[in-house]
A and B are shown apart, each in its own frame.
Chain A
Amino acid sequence: MRLEINAEKCTECGRCAASCSLEKTGRINPLFSRISVVRRWPEVPELNVCRFEDCIGQPCIDSCPFDAIQVTNGTVLINNDACRGCRKCIPVCPYSAIRMDENNRLAFKCDLCGGTPACVPECVTGALGFGEVR
């Protein structure tokens, strides 16, 4: 499965990030979200989220000294039990899609909500979609 990103259609409302943080943390703040929208007026925004199989080379996997990032059932995931919070994965991600939870000192990223992403149905303009791997 893959996220389809169409940034030209994004109106920067941030419903994706708000619903992600609510789903994942029970609280709402884009800081806790696995997806973020960066305004670049008048140009289209950046949508920062893991591209999964569309990411060439998936450099986060090799960057982790603790093998905490692995492909599980076709999805790149961080194993919280193995993550030591070393932050090495954060700068190598070409999509700025990995962030640090400063409370538990663990890295976090999108896990596609196990197959039913909370963000996708919130996007009314179709900037975000979800589909099969090409």
Chain B
Amino acid sequence: MSGSMYDRIIRIDCSRKSSSVWDVPDDLKPWIGGMGYGTKILSDEVNPAADALSPDNKVVLTVGPLTGTTAPLHAQSCIVTKSPLSGTILNCYAGGFLGAEIKYCGIDGVILEGAFSDWQVLIIDNDRVSFEPAGPVMGMGTEETENWIKEKYGSDYRTMSIGRAGEKLVRMAAVFSETRTFGRGGAGAVFGSKKIKAVAFRGTLGAELADTDEFKRIVKENMAVIGEACNQEFNLIAMFSRFGTGAGMGLIQSRGALATRNSRFGSFDHAEAISGQTYEKDFYTRWVSCYGCPVHCGRVHKFSTFDGGKTWARGPEYETMYSLGSQLCNGSPDVLAEANRLTEVYGVDSLTIGVTISFAFECAEKGLLSDDELSLEFGDPASILGLLRKIGEREGIGDILAEGPGLAAEHIGGGAKDFAMQVKNSGFAAWMPRRMVGTGLAFATSNRGACHKRAPIGAEITGQVDMLSYENKAQMVKKNQDVVNAVFTLISCRFHEFMTAHEVYPEYIRAASGIGMDLEEFYALGERIWNLEKIFNLKAGLGRNDDILPRRCFTDPVQGQNSEGSVLDYDRWQRMLSEYYSLRGWDDNGIPGRDKLVSLGIAEYGGGL
């Protein structure tokens, strides 16, 4: 045991219905934990060309050295797997209380291999795994599934589960954990392909620290910095703390960057009606936190219009206010809340499904798609909720759309791919590349497709840098990607890095798990992970042509207030992409050079590129 890391990972062989404890080898430990562990393990053990929904794929679920400790904003756990949506290596995250409970089991993670022959619920007590038939919960929504587990096995279990979409291998299916979501990239479908309906954890061990006094000192200082941020009037985190993640709606609208009507407009007339401030004002609201988090950006509301007999729901979060709100011209907070709740019932990524629905609505406008029951009109509640259900069920046109917006567009044809707002088949997160050029480059070059977690969003949306400029954006994006990948070895919430000096991370690692590294080594770790992911993707068959935004971004000026008719210039864009590759030490096709891989210490992975 190394301080807060247990150096043990449970391997579950689904095909043989057996489990064993794997001692973490010494060469894995410098990858710190979280995304570092996941990326290295998947790269070592899964053929990048494997079908993501075959037993050859694996799911690596990890925690990090700060998980389950008193370090604030470190609630998340991490899944790394091959994505059935994007065909890339995938990392995705869920907050809540799951990560801490995994840590209390005395393990650093779980590897799920192979596939069961019939559906299972996995019950994990410390390092003991039992396999329970999933019959009674098949077809249930995620919350219902998790409640069943808690009733049957004990309320102190922390759970993760899939809904019907995961069961039916919908490529945007997510894994849920008590309303928090491993959202992007279709991890829920990978669970479904392995016939895993749910996993529950209960741990009776405790997180320990390499240097408890030093750790307490760092936490105290970190908490003071965060507390100060939360008390400032014009601080993003303070706004999230007061009004949830939907607090920034007005700012984004004022910058003409609120994607609306399938990304044709940059502002939405009813933005205020679906903002965090409105939910806080018009509905019963309780502030809720993930494990150990003083920011409490989570919201539990009571609704009455569309609640299917329930009286409350979690969320929606900002990204959902865009994807199932403005993007669909849905200005009703009740319809949005119900759509958000349905994503939990079916177990789907609210981002990609919203983008897929908006794509389908535009297809219908252009006569490329129709449905017997639904009008498929923007803003129509029946079409929004109905199509969400059909995708979740793979029913009718939902079956094609369940493949993801890019693949569905190829199937539909007629130029539909030009306006499918996706990269690598993964739906756009809530930002407009035409209005935020660096964020666009981040969407295009992300190793998991259209990802907002490693983009210069804050700098561009607040005007700290010129949002329309192409200058220095390649550098900003590269730096951002490397830093965030490093931080995701600790599985810090993205909001943590907004408020924390980077020098604190190596201090945290030393005090928690006892591993010494300086800040430059920490950044290099992030770059190492980025390159290892890139190698996986190249071997999976992706290339420069996949690092591209949909045609709309280069041809259709953004309409609406404050959007300035912005459109991207294709040639300047391609030059920026080449600049980005060059900064990364990659050739013009995006293939890492040998020198770069040697300097990062991962030359052995570069064979066969």
Report B121-135 residues with CB < 8 Å from chain A CB: none
B288 touches A29 (CB 8 A): no
Residues of A within 8 A of B284 (CB): 42
Residues of A within 8 A of B70 (CB): 15, 18-19, 22, 28, 122
A41 touches B206 (CB 8 A): no
Residues of B within 8 A of A124 (CB): 223, 227, 230, 294
Report B287-322 residues with CB < 8 Å from chain A CB: 287-294, 296, 298, 300-302, 311-312, 314
Given A13-B296, A28-B69, A42-B312, A125-B287 contact (CB < 8 Å): yes
Tally of B interface residues using CB under 8 Å: 35
Give bound CA distance, A28 to B512, whole Å: 12
The contact sample of 11 A-B pairs, CB cut-off 8 A, is: A13-B289, A13-B291, A13-B292, A15-B72, A15-B294, A22-B70, A27-B207, A27-B208, A29-B206, A29-B207, A41-B288
* Closest CB pairs A-B (n = 8): A27-B206, A42-B312, A13-B289, A29-B206, A11-B296, A11-B289, A28-B207, A124-B294
Question: Does A32 lie at the interface of the complex (its beta carbon under 8 Å from any beta carbon of B)?
Answer: yes
Given A12-B288, A26-B208, A41-B312, 5 additional A-B pairs, CB 8 A: A28-B206, A41-B314, A42-B302, A42-B311, A122-B223
B205 touches A29 (CB 8 A): yes
Residues of B within 8 A of A19 (CB): 70
Beta-carbon nearest neighbor of A103 in chain B: B204
Give bound CA distance, A26 to B3, whole Å: 12
Residues of A within 8 A of B301 (CB): 42
Residues of A within 8 A of B296 (CB): 11, 13, 125
A41 touches B286 (CB 8 A): yes
B290 touches A13 (CB 8 A): yes
Question: Does B104 lie at the interface of the complex (its beta carbon under 8 Å from any beta carbon of A)?
Answer: yes
A14 touches B104 (CB 8 A): no
Give bound CA distance, A25 to B70, whole Å: 14
Given A27-B208, A29-B206, A15-B292 contact (CB < 8 Å): yes
Give bound CA distance, A21 to B104, whole Å: 12
Question: Does A106 lie at the interface of the complex (its beta carbon under 8 Å from any beta carbon of B)?
Answer: no
Give bound CA distance, A125 to B231, whole Å: 12
A18 touches B286 (CB 8 A): no
Report B367-407 residues with CB < 8 Å from chain A CB: none
Q: Which of A13, A25, A32, A42 contacts B294 (CB 8 A)?
A: A13
User: Closest Cβ of chain A: how far from B75's Cβ, in Å?
Assistant: 9
0/1 string, A20-59, CB within 8 A of B gives 1: 0110011111011000000001101000000000000000
0/1 string, A112-127, CB within 8 A of B gives 1: 0000000000101100
Give bound CA distance, A42 to B207, whole Å: 30
Residues of A within 8 A of B207 (CB): 27-29
Question: Does B34 lie at the interface of the complex (its beta carbon under 8 Å from any beta carbon of A)?
Answer: no
Give bound CA distance, A101 to B271, whole Å: 53
Residues of B within 8 A of A14 (CB): 97, 289, 291-292
A11 touches B292 (CB 8 A): no
Give bound CA distance, A21 to B68, whole Å: 12
0/1 string, B263-293, CB within 8 A of A gives 1: 0000000000000000000001011111111
Report B473-520 residues with CB < 8 Å from chain A CB: none
B68 touches A28 (CB 8 A): yes
Question: Does B183 lie at the interface of the complex (its beta carbon under 8 Å from any beta carbon of A)?
Answer: no
Give bound CA distance, A41 to B287, whole Å: 11
A31 touches B104 (CB 8 A): yes
Give bound CA distance, A32 to B203, whole Å: 12
Residues of A within 8 A of B293 (CB): 13
Residues of A within 8 A of B291 (CB): 13-14, 18
Give bound CA distance, A22 to B289, whole Å: 20
Beta-carbon nearest neighbor of B206 in chain A: A27
Report B203-256 residues with CB < 8 Å from chain A CB: 203-208, 212, 216, 223, 227, 230
Give bound CA distance, A124 to B52, whole Å: 43
B294 touches A29 (CB 8 A): no
A11 touches B212 (CB 8 A): no
Give bound CA distance, A42 to B143, whole Å: 14
B300 touches A42 (CB 8 A): yes
User: Closest Cβ of chain B: how far from A36's Cβ, in Å?
Assistant: 10
Give bound CA distance, A25 to B208, whole Å: 10
Report A1-22 residues with CB < 8 Å from chain B CB: 11-15, 18-19, 21-22
